[in-house]
Amino acid sequence: MAPSRKAPLGVAPGEEALVAVLLADSFNQRFRPITLERPKVLLPLAGFPLIDYTLEWLASNGVAEVYVFCCAHAEQVKEHLKAAGWLQERASITVKVIVSTTCKSEGEALREIDVKDLVKTDFVLVTGDVVSNMDLGSALRMHRGRREKNKGALMTMVMKAGTTPAQRRRLGDHSLIVAMDPQTKRLLHYEEVEAGKPLPNHATIDAHFWGETDSVEVRTDLADTNIYICAPEITMLFSDNFDYQNVRKDFVSGVLSEEELGQQLFVHELHRDYAASVLNFRSYDAISRDVLQRWTFPFVPDTNLLPLGGLWGPSSYRLGRNFIYKEQSLKLGREARVGHSSSIGMGTVIEDGAQVAQSIIGRNCHIGKDAVVLGSYLLEGVRIHAGAQVSHSLLCDGVVVKEDATVCPGSVLSFKVVVGQGQVIEQQTSLSLCRQLQQSASLSDDELECAAAGTASPPSEAAFGSSAEAAQPGLEQAAEALSAGDGGHYDATLVGPDGAGHRWQPHEAEPAASAAAAAHFSIAPAPPGPPPPPDDFSDDDSTVAAADEAQEAAVADPEASFKREVSETFLRCVRDGFEKKFLETELNSLKIAEHRDFADCARYILTTLLTLCLPAPPRAKAEYRSLFPETAPNTATQAGKTELLRRLQRLLNTWTELLKQFLRSEDDQVDLLLTLEEFCGEEGVFEGTGEQGSLFSAVFAKVLQLLYDAEVVEEDAFIKWAEEKPKQEEAWPETLVVYIFSNTDPEYLNNLNFFLKWGVREGDGAYYIIVVQEGGKSPLVDLEEVILPGNARLLYHDNECYDWGTLGWIMSAGIADVDDYKHFVMINSSVRGPYAAPFQPAKEGIKKMMGLQKEVPAWHKRLTERLAGDVHMVGPTISCEGTPRDGGPAAEWLSLPHVQSHAIAVDQEGLRTLQRDGNVLKCHSNHWDAKWYAELGASKAILEAGHNLDSLMQRYEGVDWRDPTTWQCGGNRGDPFAETAMAVGGAGGPLSLQEALFVKAKEGTVQTSNSLLQMAEKYERWMEEQSEGDNDVLAAMFPDPEEVRLPQVAAMQQRGPKCFDFAYYRSLNTDLQHYMTDDALWGHFLSFGQFQRRPFRFTCDWDPPAGHDWAGYPIRADAGLQGSTDKTLDPKKQYRAIRPVPLPKVDADFYRAQQEDSAPDAQHLESSARRSLLQMKQPQPQPQPQPQPASRRLLRQSQGESQIRTPSGESRGAAGGAKEGGMRRLGEAAAAVSRQLLGDKGLPGTGDAEAYL
């Protein structure tokens, strides 16, 4: 695992490279009983071992050499580092393991480092539980600068600034009272306050400090991160002072108390970057959620940088909506529910009715029917049986929770514990198969006996097996213990008679020993804070109490606190009638004090204006309630919507100029729109506030219109927002297309290239898998490179099976899941196609173009739209020609109709029918077996299941193939394409392009007379000629093509479809026959047909209405009518033919290296992954000081790697960034958001322009 590394930071020529010492032992018992069997640094955090976060962060900061100091479970740590590749020689980092099983403290470890004389220059001291994305460069430069001037500057302590009491409770960490010189950042006083206790209202500082500095700054908002930049003399100080056992408690306090020796410590404050340590179960929970909500970017699951190898294996996480991460090859029941901020690992099964929310589920887990997992952490191979409930708990590898059992918040179930049926595990309970010894508190983790569980195990050997196998050892172990008469060793009242486990009690000396203290370190949600200490200078008690009540709700979330400050500042100025200039000054002061951007103020100014259109929210202060209306409009009625918009319009008229003052860039305006979405959806900081933002969902598009009309949001920002919507909201494709290429015919490569050019389009509702069959029968050839869109991938497979067997391999290998798609299309390379107009998305805009331009459907919808009712298998052609079984005589030829498998589509029921058959999707190495059992057997299985077949052949329209009297359809004709060739559209008319979607193109057929192929090739040339404005290259050649078309479209729409000859247009443009309704056909003509050389006609002349010079609009004359008053448009004057971009050459080895099935060169992948991280490791604009709930705005920021910043400062999309057609996606984006907010209710039709804007 590893991203791209920087050169060593802060190293001048001639200086030694940076060294780090990583302590891989916590030297405490806070994670017992888990650490009895596995070291804390190997505990998975959001799916990845803790130590890998720390090592990867050090590597990304240019650290050249890391000494990993191991004590307990040293062999496990070494095994992981070796398997993950850390112990191999790498480009710029070397990891060395130091083992000492006798060390029992940080001090002893540093003394051992000193004895071995390992560090001779400044080094970074860090624990193996640190998760950070900070840039060490600034802290290192400051430290080295101080060292040059003062050799007594021993250490720079990295501290997180701006932490609140609620955030400290969230991490279960001590509070700190820190005094320092504000100019030099020299540490003068360091005092820890026990977690859960209030801060004292005074601190004692030595008087002599006042003689050394002009001022002293006392801070209570700093948190220690366990990151220290140290001088080499520190190890000697530990050797000289054997009472130094702990860095924070002993060493820091000792140095501060001996100032006369000239030794000094300094503080480096961290404001925007992330840094925290997993100190206990409470911080484990908090930091896991921070990772899921992307505060640690780029160290987040979907970058898949952690790790590239190791015991846990490579990862394949993908980010979905609401911060839901999923690995490949998992199974979710149709009725299963996965809530926000969750992660699901590979091989996991979640059955119907099960609910998972705010939880991290490891690999190979099984969650049974109607089970509930909330706010919990399931490691590997955990089994939650039907009806069981787990809340805010941690379950280690192999744990089993049986039917209807309950695990209450704060519970920790160590490895292979079994909770019996119906049993209830009470809050704050820890269970282990290890029996607790009386003297265990004084023993190290390695010295403790774990008789029941045996030695610790790394992740299961069955990491990629079934979840049942992964959990089986725990059940077997418990069963063996019970059968051996050891049942009494387990407390049946605790885990049940069919359970296994011992209670683990914290020792009296541990911080979590008491029930009160345990709550502060528990994995359950943090308890409320203590009351503040008495303050002699406080205001009136009632006023303070009211303020504290409001503050407590927001203190855990600085974003909510800032939102409240902006809102109350605005409301106060409105109430007191202050001028706008004064309000602007107030908000600017708040912005500076909170280290915020202009856009942050603008976002909450807008939401405050929206709130002022509705009754006062519950938390509004009494002094501001008079500013709000008493009632809310009924947005279920048109009158109510109008009233709500009227209220907003009045406020915008007054405050538009103020909003503009705080919107300084296009990105600021996009953030404003994203915040508007959150407000209307009551998400993030608006969730549960009672502000009723959802009432604006019914008029969301109209609010966009008001912001546009008021020039608060400019057109370019709307375009950027609309273009980004699919990246955040895009649904998973409904159709899986599998194209199977085998190099057994010279023409097959041409067929593949044609398919990739015309058939694979991004956003067309399909996901494409291109399978390259290779091996002894079909050696790999140099393929032409196609820059595949995001919805397509190449896959290499040994050429052992024919088409159906390859499809079966894709399903059985977990590459694709039946539940993920509605339709499945399989094509082989023996055919050329699709011969259909290329897919084009609708380009709806903000002006008159809204609703006029219709989408050109994808080619695969011609097949899948027929999968309805009893039809569960479709293809372009159906044949009844015979096929000899096993080379038998002609008498044994079969006349059963079958969909030809060169191109075939099935739905979920159809595919499951084929799976149940057992032979269709089986790998048949014999050609005739593949013909009989697969190609013919597929249609046979569908018919025998009572389902029907269908095709695109007009002569077989409406045939019920379940009727045996239809089975002689081909008259035993041997060539099914001869049947198609006879299906002409009238005397001398053309073949139906509907039937010629795919055409056989082999070596022999290309040179011989093949009317179908010739017709298809002529259509291919026509497609290239007619691609003017209908392909993806248009945006790069014309800055605003829709505005060029607008006059013609507007004029033709004014004329209307009243006299349009639909039958004529449909009959002479046979590729448009899938437009079933006249309304859809008219939409195509408006947006495309009139600009192409397609025949059409009107049955009456047009009498343009008065009041407008319609004669100035060039409208193309129709065909075949005399006396038309229409003007003739020469398309070449406004358009030029655009041919598709030629396909460049590809490096086939590169694509093979991307496949999960292959074993690519580790060094190649490592360097590739690290280059990716270097690109992503750009400064991320994150609000300080600590994480906040999920938001669309932050998700956009965290996905900022998809934006490329040009040298001129202009932002463009990674795909090219050309402005496609004015407001190309705004209408579509507004409709998508409205559907989401309204739940598909009350949304106007997509063709109604006024209903949107």
Q: Could you tell me which residue, 1086 or 730, shows the higher pLDDT?
A: 1086
Same domain, 692 and 749: no
**Domain enclosing residue 75, as ranges:** 19-277
Least confident stretch, 389-398, 399-408, 601-610, 1125-1134: 1125-1134
Same domain, 1000 and 1068: no
The answer, yes or no, to whether residue 391 has pLDDT greater than 50, is yes
Under a CB-based contact definition with an 8 Å cutoff, are residues 943 and 962 in contact? yes
Nearest to 778 by CA among 828, 834, 833: 828
Tell which phi-psi region holds residue 157, choosing left (phi > 0), alpha (psi between -120 and 50) or beta: beta
Residue 108: which pLDDT band, with cuts at 50, 70 and 90? confident
Least confident stretch, 425-439, 804-818, 932-946, 1147-1161: 1147-1161
Strand partners, 406: 389, 424
Measured distance CA(866)–CA(579) in Å, rounded = 65
Q: What is the CATH number of the domain that holds 702?
A: 1.25.40.180
Same domain, 140 and 247: yes
The count of structural domains within the chain is 5
Q: Is residue 303 part of a domain?
A: no
What confidence score (pLDDT) does residue 735 get?
A: 93
Q: Name the phi and psi angles at 430, rounded to 5.
A: -115, 135
What confidence score (pLDDT) does residue 243 get?
A: 80
Q: How far is CA 1050 from CA 446, 511, 658, 1056, 1118, in A?
A: 80, 75, 37, 10, 17
Tell me the per-residue pLDDT of 28-85, one tens digit each, with 9 for 90 and over. Answer: 888 888 888 889 889 999 888 999 899 989 988 888 899 999 988 888 998 888 888 8
Residue partners of 1199: CB distance under 8 A and separation at least 6: 727, 728
Q: How far is CA 194 from CA 512, 521, 732, in A?
A: 12, 12, 49
Residue 1147: which pLDDT band, with cuts at 50, 70 and 90? very low
The answer, yes or no, to whether residue 769 has pLDDT greater than 80, is yes
Same domain, 808 and 912: yes
The answer, yes or no, to whether residue 1245 has pLDDT greater than 80, is no
Q: Is residue 12 part of a domain?
A: no
Same domain, 692 and 601: yes
Q: How far apart are the first and last CA of the chain?
A: 49
Question: Using alpha carbons only, what angle is made at residue 311 by residues 309 and 315, rounded to the nearest 5 degrees?
Answer: 50
Tell me the per-residue pLDDT of 1029-1085, one tens digit each, with 9 for 90 and over. Answer: 333 333 333 333 343 455 566 667 777 888 888 888 887 776 676 666 788 788 777
Q: Could you tell me which residue, 832 or 1115, shows the higher pLDDT?
A: 832
Highest mean pLDDT among 87-91, 179-183, 1142-1146: 179-183
Same domain, 938 and 1048: no
What confidence score (pLDDT) does residue 517 get?
A: 58
Give the end of a domain, one of 277, 298, 328: 277
Residue 1098, helix vs strand vs coil: strand
The answer, yes or no, to whether residue 448 has pLDDT greater than 70, is no
What confidence score (pLDDT) does residue 507 get?
A: 62
Residue 1115 is given by DSSP the state -
Measured distance CA(257)–CA(132) in Å, rounded = 31
What confidence score (pLDDT) does residue 1234 get?
A: 63
Helix or strand (DSSP H, E) at 419: strand 418-419
Q: Name the phi and psi angles at 176, rounded to 5.
A: -125, 145
Give the ranges where 33-130 is alpha helix by DSSP (H).
Answer: 50-60, 74-83, 106-116
Q: Is residue 1130 part of a domain?
A: yes
Same domain, 245 and 332: no
Same domain, 351 and 432: yes
Nearest to 440 by CA among 524, 500, 503, 518: 503
Q: What is the CATH number of the domain that holds 919?
A: 3.90.550
Q: How far is CA 1046 from CA 27, 45, 723, 1130, in A?
A: 73, 55, 21, 16
Same domain, 202 and 102: yes
Measured distance CA(562)–CA(601) in Å, rounded = 9
Highest mean pLDDT among 226-240, 590-604, 1135-1149, 1232-1246: 226-240
User: Average pLDDT for residues 517-533, to the nearest whole number?
Assistant: 64
The answer, yes or no, to whether residue 646 has pLDDT greater than 60, is yes
Structure tokens at 293: 């909500």
Tokens 């060294």 map to which residue?
19
Give the end of a domain, one of 260, 277, 294: 277
Same domain, 1074 and 994: no
Measured distance CA(477)–CA(484) in Å, rounded = 11
Least confident stretch, 471-475, 744-748, 957-961: 471-475
Q: Could you tell me which residue, 879 or 451, shows the higher pLDDT?
A: 879
Under a CB-based contact definition with an 8 Å cutoff, are residues 1013 and 996 in contact? no
Tell me the per-residue pLDDT of 341-369, one tens digit each, with 9 for 90 and over. Answer: 899 998 899 998 898 988 999 999 999 99
The answer, yes or no, to whether residue 919 has pLDDT greater than 80, is yes
Give the ranges where 625-714 is alpha helix by DSSP (H).
Answer: 638-661, 666-681, 700-709
Q: Is residue 1155 part of a domain?
A: no
Give the end of a domain, one of 256, 277, 298: 277
User: Average pLDDT for residues 385-394, to the nearest whole number?
Assistant: 92
Q: Is residue 561 part of a domain?
A: yes
What confidence score (pLDDT) does residue 825 get?
A: 95
The answer, yes or no, to whether residue 396 has pLDDT greater than 90, is yes
Same domain, 1067 and 968: no
Measured distance CA(821)–CA(768) in Å, rounded = 12
The answer, yes or no, to whether residue 128 has pLDDT greater than 50, is yes
Residue 1105: which pLDDT band, with cuts at 50, 70 and 90? low
Q: Is residue 295 part of a domain?
A: no
Under a CB-based contact definition with an 8 Å cutoff, are residues 140 and 18 in contact? yes
Measured distance CA(359)–CA(338) in Å, rounded = 9
Q: What is the DSSP string of 149-169?
A: H-TTEEEEEEEE-S--HHHHH
Same domain, 901 and 837: yes
The answer, yes or no, to whether residue 809 has pLDDT greater than 70, is yes
Residue 702 is given by DSSP the state H
The answer, yes or no, to whether residue 88 has pLDDT greater than 70, is yes
The answer, yes or no, to whether residue 154 has pLDDT greater than 70, is yes
Q: Is residue 547 part of a domain?
A: no
Q: What percent of the chain has pLDDT over 70?
A: 64
Q: Is residue 5 part of a domain?
A: no
User: Average pLDDT for residues 437-454, to the nearest whole number?
Assistant: 44
Written as one letter, the residue type at 1018 is K
Q: To the nearest whole number, what is the mean pLDDT of the chain? A: 71
Least confident stretch, 216-230, 493-507, 718-732: 718-732
Under a CB-based contact definition with an 8 Å cutoff, are residues 401 and 417 in contact? no
Q: Could you tell me which residue, 244 or 1246, shows the higher pLDDT?
A: 244
Under a CB-based contact definition with an 8 Å cutoff, are residues 864 and 735 in contact? yes
Under a CB-based contact definition with an 8 Å cutoff, are residues 220 and 180 in contact? no
How many C-beta atoms lie closer than 10 Å to residue 297's C-beta? 22
The answer, yes or no, to whether residue 1204 has pLDDT greater than 50, is no
Under a CB-based contact definition with an 8 Å cutoff, are residues 1205 and 1211 in contact? yes
Residue 775 is given by DSSP the state S
Inter-axis angle of helices 580-593 and 638-661, to 10 degrees? 70
Residue 1126 is given by DSSP the state P
Structure tokens at 1038: 């014309």
**What's the CA dihedral at 435, 440, 443, 446 to 10 degrees?**
10
Under a CB-based contact definition with an 8 Å cutoff, are residues 1234 and 694 in contact? no
Q: What is the CATH number of the domain that holds 480?
A: 2.160.10.10
Residue 890: which pLDDT band, with cuts at 50, 70 and 90? very low
